[in-house]
Amino acid sequence: MTIPNVTMRWCRKQATCRWCNKPIEIGTPIVAVLFWNKGNPDSRRWNVQICYHPQCWVDQGLDYLNRNPFVPHRRGVKSKLSEEDRKKRYLLVRRFHALEQRKKNSKLDYPDNLLMDSRLTKQMTDIMLDMVKVGGIPKSWVEKLG
């Protein structure tokens, strides 16, 4: 089992940021994530360090949360969904995130292509409507349409 250990410190040796792939310069703040692995009888203990710019650490964390929307624990909601609906929901979530990624990329590559942007928004809205039938729209999605 790995237990990450996160520290922020001054960068002493130039490293590469895991999130943006740009160098982290000596003397600037760095977020170091240390993964400990205590090993087992036939492998020695080892650890892995992953480095981020402080802002990139926040960005990757928020990105992770966006990909794993907050789901409040409400009793009974899950059991109301049939196996088939749950599968449908899973596929919708995947499609939504793929569209979201395309929307993000198109904004970077073609900032003036409003047609493409609004087409993607329309597709995302359609998925939201389908989601209503299979358990509801994750709260975080609504904010993403802006």
* Residue-by-residue DSSP string for 29-89: EEEEEEEEE--BTTB--EEEEEEE-HHHHHHHHHHHHHHS------TTHHHHS-HHHHHHH
15 forms part of the interface with Zn ion (CB under 5 A): no
Q: Name the one range near Zn ion by CB under 5 A: 10-18, 66-74, 115-123, 126-134.
A: 10-18
Q: Name the one range near Zn ion by CB under 5 A: 18-26, 63-71, 94-102, 114-122.
A: 18-26
Q: Name the one range near Zn ion by CB under 5 A: 14-22, 87-95, 96-104, 107-115.
A: 14-22
Q: Which of residues 63-122 bind Zn ion (CB under 5 A)?
A: none
β-pair partners for 50: 33
Q: Find tokens 């080892």 and name the residue.
A: 46
When binding is defined by CB under 5 A, the residue of 11, 15, 30, 53 that contacts Zn ion is 53
Crossing angle of helices 83-109/114-133, nearest 10°?
Answer: 170
Write out the residues near Zn ion by the rule CB under 5 A.
17, 19-20, 53, 56
